[in-house]
Structure 1
């Protein structure tokens, strides 16, 4: 049995009863967070431009595409360090499109979502961080694999069909890290969601791939990952659950995950020491290698670049006392207060910032030192930002983020509140189309 068959058998036979309560709870949190950032993302320019590429009414594949664009448009979606991916971003839109196509219920949605992200996270650990470090943007490179399996489960494909969906998807890797800081990211995430869905439909129609496509000669790992393949992780599907081990990080701020710890450190210093922006002479930030390799824009010219800029993140924290959706505006980026402070922020790599035994839990740690004009300096280290698996957001924080995203996306508060309640117990949803109905940016009819 090759890797695709092993994965496919697990996907095709997964049911809700076999998902441990903690895993199910983590999945439900990812669902509510994912739907929230999807609603907000529909209010963006990149979503409007992507919508012009589709027809009306939308087919299921186009729905997967636009859902994938929206959910990643603000870089506010969850992160897993199993492969360094935004797992929900590619899988959920493909699964929702497949469930809606089949007129599925919430139980099917939950099963298919868990199947898709668990395959994605297992694949992330199987190929190791080498794939990401080599320049692949694994959210899409691997996300298409998770999307194909999630869609296959939602469409009710048999194991041999699911294996072929996975083989077909593995032939379509896409996404390069050079795209960070551009609207290519949400667009490509939409493409991955659509192609994952289409791979499942193609397999359903009888199109087949070659056994060994993932780990064989001239296969995925051979061609794209220098042959690196730690296949034992795939044998633990259903025993090790990526949703809880290593877990998923839910963002508090709509910037790259690599900026989250530094933002938290800066906000804490600002509050503790009553620091005003004009008090700051300079800021030194030390980050892990993953932090510095992701945040490459010192002087960002656009909001997508600013979301990958440590100077912008720290400047916003100091000027506004928050880094939220309201700060993702061109007038904020170009304001004198922000541009002055950005010029005073320096980021450097510190490989010794995190002890070797803590690196799994703190891959994007940061230390911030603020030098004040009076000659004093204050410092703070945040190893794992709030929202990381070891420091999860509270139920109330997740709900507050969801409602904030709904407001940003123009969704009526009554609808948003009803939808939040529904998503807290997704297995009870009779028709998944109800999610899109409640998330529509218009008042609820009387």
Structure 2
């Protein structure tokens, strides 16, 4: 391997490249296959629903004429190039902030990896097994680099999903293209120069755009590497490289990015993602569930409440401390908003983040009486950190509830009990019930497809329904 440092040792990206190039379908355990299939089902479902979101529509309109190709734009019947499909499906998968999360990444891995894998697999006529391999390869890159950057990356203000996800998309693309270990490393090095996404844009349509661009740039990096484009294999660890710039000198653990001696276990075989139960930022979920529990104990009216205190772990802030909402999407990232909704109405649904729902006078009254603070000591939680909500009533009453680290056990994280119900509800926003059943049947037996294009033909949406807004068939409709 090329050594840019003169030390004679392989770089982190070269070691990761070897790992990625060597991923085989048979290397995935039952756990690993379950992680992949759950991610596939959940991501396709939320991308269907997200395809009707305003941000998805605007992205497509701004992209201009799309290149015809074999890759499906989910939620439509349109076929475009893999790069264009990756962009649009990445935006749709993250548009509702309903996609899965990973505690190690501190972000959303599958909204990047699944659109990347499907788009390129359709172009190449890959099998379902090769899609699973590609997802596992991308997951390996994302989780290992996430272990290296730790929390410092997020603390600096980067949006982890695209900044780390673009490396995962590059790994996914490299594996599907069958690149050598050296060229896999090159794809990652190229992608490192495309890592972008500011937390300052969370709560706007730019957040899902971050994800779509990460998918596209990651796939483009893999293609560039396949063509022989060069890049520095030490782009991760060199001074002024990715880790120094995106985490800070001395604020990362380089060794965590590479497997130890004798460690052949893929990350997908030992990690899990969390499938969301609520259509809003995961950092608000514990507080939201605490508020739902309080609603079950007592039905509140705004005039009953003197003050609301929300205590969360520091990892949940500052991106969710939003007492003032400039637009509907911002409500998805506001502890004040989701807690007020849950206390008054017992839960959250998609209509609460649309149109002028965020301007409700009753909700704003409670938001104005809400105080958010950080727990005195860091609360640990592998899946989700806890939160405490306390309601002080005007009559002197105090009602308090603390949501635990995770409302479900490990088994339910790997096998979400409401996965197919959520999937059907999401797909049903765009197609009729008969088509929902058809799509469910395809994804249930996805592993059987020797050519993924045979599966995605069934996923095409040929007509809009009352709620759905599939895209115009003006872009390419070709199949291969």
**TM-based fold match above 0.5:** yes
- 1:112 counterpart = 2:134: yes
2:356 equivalent in structure 1: 331
Could you report, residue by residue, the CA deviation over 1:5-63 in whole angstroms, capped at 9, with x for unpaired residues?
Answer: 21111111211211111122122111111111111110111100111114243211011
Quick check: 1:249–1:389 contact (8 Å CA) kept in 2? no
- Give the Å deviation of 1:375: 2.5
3-state DSSP class of the match of 1:367? strand
2:471 equivalent in structure 1: none
- Give the Å deviation of 1:268: 1.3
1:55 equivalent in structure 2: 65
> What are the within-5 Å matches in structure 2 for residues 165-244 of structure 1?
165-227=187-249, 228-236=252-260, 239-243=264-268
- Give the Å deviation of 1:163: 1.4
Give distance in 2, aligned partners of 1:402 and 1:166: 32
The structure in which a higher percent of residues are helix is: 1
- Give the Å deviation of 1:425: 4.0
> What are the within-5 Å matches in structure 2 for residues 296-445 of structure 1?
296-352=321-377, 354=379, 359-361=380-382, 364-386=385-407, 392=413, 395-408=416-429, 410-442=430-462
Aligned alpha-carbon RMSD (Å): 2.3
2:89 equivalent in structure 1: 67
- Give the Å deviation of 1:433: 2.9
For residues 435 and 164 of structure 1, do their structure 2 counterparts lie closer, same or farther at Cα, with a shift above 3 Å needed? Answer: same
Unaligned stretches of 5+ residues in structure 2: 1-9, 69-79, 465-480
Unaligned stretches of 5+ residues in structure 1: none
- 1:252 counterpart = 2:273: no
Could you report, residue by residue, the CA deviation over 1:71-127 in whole angstroms, capped at 9, with x for unpaired residues?
Answer: 111111111121312111112111111101101121111111111022101110012
Give distance in 1, aligned partners of 2:340 and 2:414: 24
For residues 108 and 244 of structure 1, do their structure 2 counterparts lie closer, same or farther at Cα, with a shift above 3 Å needed? Answer: closer
- Give the Å deviation of 1:295: 0.5
3-state DSSP class of the match of 1:380? strand
2:123 equivalent in structure 1: 101
For residues 336 and 136 of structure 1, do their structure 2 counterparts lie closer, same or farther at Cα, with a shift above 3 Å needed? Answer: same
TM-score by length of 1: 0.92
Could you report, residue by residue, the CA deviation over 1:355-377 in whole angstroms, capped at 9, with x for unpaired residues?
Answer: xxxx1426532101122343322
Q: Hey, which bits of structure 1, 4+ residues long, moved more than 6 A?
A: none
Quick check: 1:292–1:347 contact (8 Å CA) kept in 2? no
- Give the Å deviation of 1:206: 1.1
Quick check: 1:287–1:353 contact (8 Å CA) kept in 2? no
Give distance in 2, aligned partners of 1:249 and 1:230: 26
Could you report, residue by residue, the CA deviation over 1:381-433 in whole angstroms, capped at 9, with x for unpaired residues?
Answer: 1132436858627544111111111122x123223223233323432123323
- Equivalent pairs counted in the alignment come to 439
Could you report, residue by residue, the CA deviation over 1:284-338 in whole angstroms, capped at 9, with x for unpaired residues?
Answer: 1101101122203111121221111111101221233221223221232112222
Q: Which shows bigger deviation, 192-201 or 222-231? A: 222-231
For residues 281 and 68 of structure 1, do their structure 2 counterparts lie closer, same or farther at Cα, with a shift above 3 Å needed? Answer: same
Quick check: 2:192–2:242 contact (8 Å CA) kept in 1? yes
2:15 equivalent in structure 1: 6
3-state DSSP class of the match of 1:124? helix
TM-score by length of 2: 0.86
Quick check: 1:66–1:190 contact (8 Å CA) kept in 2? yes
Task: Tell me: higher relative CO, structure 1 or 2? Use CA pairs within 8 A at least 6 residues apart.
Answer: 2
Quick check: 2:51–2:92 contact (8 Å CA) kept in 1? yes
For residues 418 and 78 of structure 1, do their structure 2 counterparts lie closer, same or farther at Cα, with a shift above 3 Å needed? Answer: same
3-state DSSP class of the match of 2:287? helix
Give distance in 1, aligned partners of 2:457 and 2:171: 25
For residues 384 and 424 of structure 1, do their structure 2 counterparts lie closer, same or farther at Cα, with a shift above 3 Å needed? Answer: farther
2:469 equivalent in structure 1: none
Give distance in 1, aligned partners of 2:134 and 2:443: 15
Quick check: 1:387–1:393 contact (8 Å CA) kept in 2? no
Quick check: 2:38–2:415 contact (8 Å CA) kept in 1? no
